C-alpha cells in the first residue's frame, strides 16, 4: 500500500509527503529564504563561490532546485553534479561533456584545462552565464576542490566565467576550514546555513503540505495532539516529518480513520523506529499546558464571583471571623446579610443620615467606607486621594508596629484610618493604579485568589459595591487571611 491508495480517501490531489525534492512544495522558513537569497544574489552579482550548508533532510537540495529553476534557461547554462566524488580529470571531462565538446584521446590535464577555458570564454562572449552546482559537496575529494579553485580563476577583467555553488552538510564547513584549502575558503563570497524547523514551524509545515496537496484548510486532517507528537518526534527535520506523516496516513487508511489521531501517529513512528519525543521537551510542554490551565481556571473563577456579585447584590457573603485585638476589647463585624454591600457612588442622599447616626456607635459596620480612602464621593475625598504621592508603592504593608489611629507614613497629614480598620488585625493597603484589578491585588497579596480570599476582600471593602468594580485612586484594605472555616 502506498500514498496512491489513501489519496482519494483523504481528499488529496497529489502526494503530500513524498521525500523527493519538489520545488512546488517548499516551505520557506527564515533560513530557507536566506539561502535562496544568497544563491540568487551570488549568481546575479557574479561572486564566484557560494556555499550553502545544513543538516541532513532540511531541504538544501530543494532550495537549490528552486533557484536553478528560476534562472532564465536561454541565458544560463546549468551544470548539476549530483555525484561529486570525482577526480580532476573526471570533473573537467564532465563539464566539457555538458557543452558537447569531445576531448582528443591524447590530451592531458593541461590540454583539458586550456580547452575548458576556451569553451567557457566562448559561452561568456555569447551572453550566457555558466553555473556549476555541486550537491553533497562534502564528499568531493580535496584535490578536486582545489581544482574548482583553479576554475574560479578563469575570468575576464570584469566577471567570472564560472559561478560555483557548493551545497553540503555541516562537514563541508570543516573541510573548507582545513589549512590546505585556505585559498579556496578565502574565495567564498556568499555563505548561508539552513537550520531545523522550530516546533511551530513543524506544525505549520504539515498543514502547508496537506493544503498544497489539495486538502481544504477547513478540514484539518491531523488532530492537535498528533501534530504536537510529530513536531517533537521529527526534531525539526522536514524529511523525517514526511516519512512519519506518510506512514501515519497509510496506518490511518488501514483503520478507516477520517482523522489522524495521536494513537495512529505514535504507532506509525514506533514502527519506523523513530524515538518518542525527548523527555525534557515533553515535560516542558506538559508544564506549559498546566500553567495555561491554572490561568484559565483562575480567570474563570474570578468571572464567576464577579457575575454572582452582580446578579445577587442583596445576598450576603459569609461572615468573617476576626482575631481579637490585644489593644482593646474585641469588636464584631456586621454580617453582610445585615448590611448589604452597596456602591458608595450609587448610594442615595436619603441613606446618608442613618449612616451618620451609626458613626457614633462604638463599633463600625463593614458596610461603611472611610472618607479618606476613596477616590470617589465628596470633593474633600477626591482632594485627599489626589494628594497620595505617586512614588508610593503599589502595595503598602501595615506592620504590627502601626498603632491604632496612628498616621500611615504615606498618607497626607490629617488623614487617618477609621476605627474599624485601625482595630482590625494586621493586613495590607493596596493603592489602586491604572490597570489594576481585584484579581491582581488578591493574587499579589495572598499568592492565590480562591473563593475565601475573594470573599474576605469584598467583605472588607464595601466601597467596591455590588458591581464589584474598583477605580484608580482607591485604597483597598486586604485583611490577613485566617484559617479556613467551613461554610
* Residue 108's CATH number: 3.40.50.300
Residues 473 and 328 in one domain: yes
d(C-alpha 483, C-alpha 129), whole Å: 84
Which residues in the chain land under pLDDT 70? 1-4, 274-426, 465-468, 481-487
Count of domains forming the chain: 3
Q: Are residues 62 and 159 in the same domain?
A: yes
Q: Is 313 a member of any domain? A: no
52/155 same-domain check: yes
As a whole number of angstroms, the distance between CA 313 and CA 465 comes to 8
- The H-assigned helical ranges of 47-187 are 60-70, 88-98, 109-125, 142-152, 171-176, 182-186
Whether 289 is covered by a domain: the verdict is: no
Of 69, 64, 68, nearest in space to 51 by CA: 64
Q: Are residues 340 and 446 in the same domain?
A: yes
Which CB contacts under 8 angstroms, 24+ apart, belong to 148-156? 148/91, 148/184, 149/183, 149/184, 149/187, 150/113, 151/116, 152/48, 152/49, 152/187, 154/116, 154/117, 154/120, 154/121, 156/121, 156/124
- Does residue 100 lie in a domain region? yes
Domain limit, last residue, from 194, 228, 258: 194
Domain presence at residue 228: yes
If asked whether residues 127 and 205 sit together in one domain, one would say no
Question: Are residues 206 and 175 located together in one domain of the fold?
Answer: no
Does any domain span residue 298?
A: no
Out of 153, 173, 194, pick the residue that ends a domain.
Answer: 194
According to the model, what pLDDT value does residue 328 have?
43
**Domain encompassing residue 169:** 30-194
Residues 132, 95 share a domain? yes
pLDDT at position 290: 64
pLDDT of 42: 92
Residue 333 lies in a domain: yes
In this structure, are 326 and 424 located in the same domain? Answer: yes
Q: Is residue 125 part of a domain?
A: yes
Task: Give me the sheet containing 475-479, strands edge to edge.
Answer: 395-398, 427-431, 475-479
CATH code: domain of residue 254: 1.10.8.60
Q: Is the domain of 179 the same as that of 217?
A: no
- The rounded distance, in Å, linking the Cα atoms of 148 and 137 is 11
Last residue of a domain, one of 222, 245, 277: 277
Is residue 302 domain-resident?
no
Provide the pLDDT for residue 399.
32
d(CA 261, CA 78): 45
pLDDT at 54: 95
Give the whole-angstrom CA distance, residue 238 versus residue 54.
Answer: 12
* H or E segment to which residue 353 belongs: helix 352-358
Predicted model pTM:
0.57
Question: What distances in angstroms separate CA 263 from CA 112, 221, 376, 438, one per listed residue?
Answer: 61, 14, 60, 44
Residue 107 burial (10 A CB sphere; 0-12, 13-18, 19+) = middle
Supply the DSSP symbol for 138: G
Based on the fold, state whether residues 238 and 273 are members of the same structural domain: yes
Indicate if 186 and 203 belong to the same structural domain. no
Same domain, 88 and 119: yes
Amino acid at each position: 500500500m502506498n500514498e496512491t491508495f489513501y489519496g482519494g480517501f483523504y481528499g488529496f490531489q497529489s502526494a503530500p509527503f513524498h521525500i523527493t525534492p519538489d520545488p512546488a512544495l517548499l516551505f520557506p522558513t527564515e533560513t530557507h529564504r536566506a539561502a535562496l537569497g544568497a544563491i540568487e544574489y551570488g549568481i546575479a552579482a557574479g561572486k564566484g563561490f557560494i556555499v550553502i550548508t545544513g543538516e541532513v533532510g532540511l531541504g538544501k537540495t530543494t532550495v537549490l532546485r528552486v533557484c536553478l529553476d528560476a534562472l532564465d534557461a536561454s541565458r544560463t547554462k546549468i551544470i548539476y553534479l549530483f555525484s561529486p566524488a570525482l577526480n580532476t580529470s573526471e570533473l573537467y571531462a564532465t563539464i566539457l561533456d555538458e557543452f558537447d565538446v569531445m576531448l582528443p584521446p591524447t590530451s592531458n590535464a593541461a590540454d583539458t584545462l586550456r580547452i575548458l577555458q576556451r569553451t567557457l570564454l566562448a559561452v561568456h562572449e555569447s551572453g550566457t552565464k555558466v553555473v556549476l552546482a555541486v550537491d553533497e559537496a562534502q564528499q568531493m575529494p580535496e584535490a578536486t576542490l582545489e581544482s574548482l579553485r583553479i576554475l574560479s580563476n578563469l575570468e575576464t577583467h570584469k566577471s567570472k566565467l564560472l559561478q560555483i555553488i557548493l551545497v553540503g552538510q555541516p562537514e563541508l564547513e570543516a573541510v573548507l576550514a582545513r589549512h590546505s584549502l585556505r585559498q579556496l575558503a578565502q574565495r567564498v563570497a556568499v555563505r548561508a546555513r539552513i537550520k531545523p524547523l522550530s516546533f511551530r514551524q513543524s506544525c505549520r509545515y504539515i498543514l502547508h503540505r496537506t493544503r498544497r496537496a489539495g486538502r481544504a484548510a477547513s478540514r484539518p486532517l491531523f488532530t492537535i495532539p498528533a501534530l504536537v507528537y510529530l513536531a517533537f518526534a521529527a526534531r525539526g527535520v522536514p524529511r523525517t516529518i514526511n516519512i512519519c506523516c506518510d506512514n501515519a496516513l497509510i496506518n490511518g487508511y488501514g483503520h478507516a480513520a477520517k482523522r489522524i489521531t495521536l494513537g495512529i501517529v505514535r504507532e506509525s513512528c514506533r514502527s519506523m523506529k523513530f524515538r518518542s519525543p525527548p523527555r525534557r521537551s515533553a515535560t516542558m510542554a506538559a508544564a506549559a499546558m498546566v500553567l495555561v490551565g491554572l490561568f484559565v481556571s483562575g480567570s474563570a473563577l474570578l468571572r464567576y464571583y464577579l457575575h454572582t456579585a452582580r446578579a445577587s447584590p442583596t445576598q450576603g457573603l459569609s461572615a468573617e471571623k476576626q482575631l481579637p485585638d490585644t489593644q482593646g476589647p474585641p469588636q464584631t463585624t456586621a454580617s453582610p446579610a445585615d448590611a448589604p454591600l452597596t456602591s458608595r457612588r450609587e448610594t442615595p442622599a436619603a441613606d446618608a443620615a442613618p449612616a451618620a447616626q451609626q458613626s457614633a456607635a462604638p463599633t463600625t459596620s463593614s458596610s461603611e467606607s472611610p472618607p479618606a480612602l476613596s477616590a470617589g464621593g465628596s470633593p474633600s475625598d477626591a482632594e485627599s486621594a489626589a494628594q497620595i504621592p505617586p512614588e508610593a508603592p503599589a502595595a503598602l504593608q501595615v506592620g504590627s508596629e502601626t498603632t491604632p489611629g496612628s498616621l500611615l507614613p504615606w498618607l497626607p497629614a490629617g488623614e487617618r484610618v477609621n476605627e474599624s480598620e485601625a482595630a482590625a488585625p494586621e493586613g495590607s493597603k493596596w493603592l489602586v493604579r491604572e490597570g489594576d484589578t481585584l484579581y491582581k491585588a488578591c493574587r499579589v497579596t495572598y499568592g492565590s485568589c480562591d473563593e475565601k480570599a475573594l470573599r474576605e476582600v469584598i467583605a472588607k471593602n464595601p466601597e467596591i459595591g455590588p458591581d464589584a468594580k474598583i477605580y484608580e485612586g482607591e485604597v483597598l484594605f486586604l485583611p490577613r487571611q485566617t484559617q479556613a472555616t467551613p461554610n
